[in-house]
Every structure is written in structure tokens, then in C-alpha cells.
Amino acid sequence: MPRYRLLIEYHGGPFQGWMRLPGLQTVQGVLEEAAARLDGGPVEVIGAGRTDAGVHATGQVAHMDLRQDRPNKVADAMNFHLRPHPVAVLKAEKVDE
């Protein structure tokens, strides 16, 4: 499966931090929901670091593995599925595992 490195920015106001937590809105959670809609199944998004509730980020790095190989469309497709959340994928590039 192709691995993609993501460069992400977000406004942390509406989030309970980075890490996925059941029943709470988190940055990792909305990214995984968007990735699942893009890829047609569950996708785990792994962050290089974590933020606390309400904290913003302008250069967070994460990676995910997708079943489909579409390097030129990942960032735009993720951003489409992330609406209306204040999260944006600035760059997505295919990388070696």
C-alpha cells in the first residue's frame, strides 16, 4: 500500500486535541474520517506529534497508508472531505515506508 506524508495545518479551537478519542472531535479523528471516505475503508493517520485541546498547528506532519495509488490527488481529495472542519492538508507526497 502506498504511504503518504501529509503536511497539515489546523485551527485547534473546536478540537479536543490531536489523538482520536471516542465520542470527541479530534484532529486525528476528522483526518481519518476524510481518509476513509477517500480510500473506501478505514485508514489510520499517524501524527509525528500531538497537540492538546484548542492548540493550533501550521506545519504538523503525519502519514497514512492508502489502498489506492493517487499521488497527485490526495491533498485536494482530503481537503474536499475535510470540509467544514478547520483542517487543511497543505501537501501530500508519496514516500517510502
64-82 pLDDT per residue, tens: 999 989 888 999 999 999 9
Domain that holds residue 35: 3-95
Clarify whether 52 is annotated catalytic: yes
pLDDT (tens digit, 9 = 90+) per residue, 15-73? 999 999 999 999 999 999 999 999 999 999 999 999 999 999 999 999 999 998 988 89
Which pLDDT value is given to residue 25?
A: 98
Which pLDDT value is given to residue 68?
A: 87
Q: Which of 52, 65, 76, 96 is catalytic?
A: 52
Consecutive H or E run containing 16 = none
Which pLDDT value is given to residue 11?
A: 98
Kindly state the DSSP code that residue 82 receives in the 8-state scheme: H
CATH of the domain at 22: 3.30.70.580
Number of domains in the chain: 1
